[in-house]
Structure 1
Amino acid sequence: MKQITVDIFSFSELQPDVKKRVLEKHRYVEVDDTNWYRFELMAFTELCSLLGILTSPEQIFFSGFYHQGAGSTFRCTINVLEMVKAVSQKVWEKEDFRKIHFTACPCQPRILQQIEKGNIDCRFFTCIPNRGYYIDLHEDHRFHLLSNGSNIERELLILFDWIKRNINELNTHLYQSLQSIYEGLTSDEAVADFLEANEWAFTCDGRLANHLV
């Protein structure tokens, strides 16, 4: 019976050129499932709720990060009055989302008052696009016993455009946050820390040898 002796090394004990190959081979070890972005989706839904926007992690979709068509999108319903109030109070800054930049609502206050009274019934919501990743905003409205219908239509269009700008700002924040986490977890430092912390073992040429330990 022959006996073979194999030297086993931790990642830090490998030669520099071997370390480089190991890092490339195991670059995506921490992002090969859905756990790495789960917390970020939950944080995003909490941010949306502060702004009167109802969504959930199950309604958020993205594709990333370095290819044509990469992006993010989410399905939601929007409480217009809550959103206007939240933006005017800059509630997101209190929750340390200071990098987000929302604009104040340019719609005339009387239109918002009519919405609050129920004289204007309007819904704003997003759907998931059939193709691609972008914000697909929709609006449905009707108003009762009000004159100047053309002015109301114009103001509702202004309101629609304002909501779309801010929802796009949210979507940009979502995508960039996910990309930042992804880049952090796939960096040389993060992968090396993972291999060391989990005590992965290698042969001298960088082959995984956990099964030999």
Structure 2
Amino acid sequence: MRVVAQRVYKFEELSTEVQTKVVDKNRYTYVDSCDWWNYTCEDFMYTLLHEYAFNVDEDSVSFSLYDAEEGAGFTGTFDIIEYAIKIAKHFDTEDHISDDVLDEIRKYGEVRVALYAWNNTSPREWNTYIELRIDGIPMEEDEKYADFITALEEWRKEECQHLYKDAQDAYEYYTCDNYIRTELTEGNYEFLADGTDF
């Protein structure tokens, strides 16, 4: 029988060169092992509800980063039609939307971000659209409402871009050197001198 003594190190006790190697090895550990995107989705849903009275459909917030299908999207409904009108007026910078149209939408309208019927994948900016219903009837083909829908489409696209940027920022945060170093330093990790996990 023989007893072998082995030196083990905390992350901060490793050489600078080995620390860099360990950080690189753990680059995607924290994005692969936790639901980091939940915070981004929850923040997005909270913001739309409290700023625009827009109720995002459960599990509809989705995004894909850094690939051929990259993008972000969501579906849901304006709980208060006046918020949809306010947004449309904000994006209608040349006042194309008539007061008559707005009054009709106030009385009988429902506005939502919907997923195209032919699409069965996660919503992305290009898979969703503004759906206006008057007394339950879709109005996308009625030229009378085109300016209102166009203005809200600008809002929808802008929110998709915000969602993508927030998701991208979160992903980059959880994969950056500083975050990984902090996790490795504050966690209960031990290593051999060459950076191998102990």
Q: CA deviation at 1:32?
A: 1.6
Distance 1:70 1:158 in 2: 29
Distance 1:8 1:203 in 2: 5
Greater shift in the superposed pair: 9-18 or 199-208: 9-18
1:139 corresponds in structure 2 to 131
Q: Is the 8 A contact 1:14 1:204 kept in 2?
A: yes
TM norm structure 1: 0.76
Correspondence 1:166 to 2:167: no
Distance 2:170 2:59 in 1: 19
1:116 corresponds in structure 2 to 106
Q: 1:173 to 1:58 in 2, by over 3 A?
A: same
Gapped regions of structure 2 (runs ≥ 5) = 136-140
Q: 1:55 to 1:173 in 2, by over 3 A?
A: same
From 117, 120, 123, the equivalent of 1:130 is 120
Aligned residue identity for 1:18: V
Summarize the alignment of residues 152-163 of structure 1 with structure 2, pairs less than 5 Å apart.
Answer: 153-163=142-152
Paired residue total: 185
Greater shift in the superposed pair: 132-141 or 51-60: 132-141
Q: Deviations over 1:145-175 (max 9, x none)?
A: xxxxxxx933411111111110110011011
Q: 1:77 to 1:25 in 2, by over 3 A?
A: same
Q: 1:44 to 1:61 in 2, by over 3 A?
A: same
Q: Is the 8 A contact 2:84 2:111 kept in 1?
A: no
Distance 1:185 1:111 in 2: 47
Summarize the alignment of residues 68-107 of structure 1 with structure 2, pairs less than 5 Å apart.
Answer: 68-78=68-78, 79-85=80-86, 103-104=91-92, 106=95, 107=97
TM norm structure 2: 0.81
Q: 1:140 to 1:62 in 2, by over 3 A?
A: same
Q: Is the 8 A contact 1:48 1:55 kept in 2?
A: yes
What's the secondary structure of 2:3's corresponding residue?
coil
Using the aligned pairs only, state the percent identity.
21
Q: Is the 8 A contact 1:51 1:87 kept in 2?
A: no
What's the secondary structure of 2:44's corresponding residue?
helix
Q: Deviations over 1:168-205 (max 9, x none)?
A: 10011011001101101111111010001113111001
2:138 corresponds in structure 1 to none
Aligned residue identity for 2:153: K
Aligned residue identity for 1:196: T
Summarize the alignment of residues 1-213 of structure 1 with structure 2, pairs less than 5 Å apart.
Answer: 1-49=1-49, 50-56=51-57, 58-64=59-65, 66-78=66-78, 79-85=80-86, 103-104=91-92, 106=95, 107-118=97-108, 121-127=109-115, 129-130=119-120, 133-135=124-126, 136-142=128-134, 153-209=142-198
Distance 1:38 1:83 in 2: 26
CA RMSD of aligned residues (A): 2.5
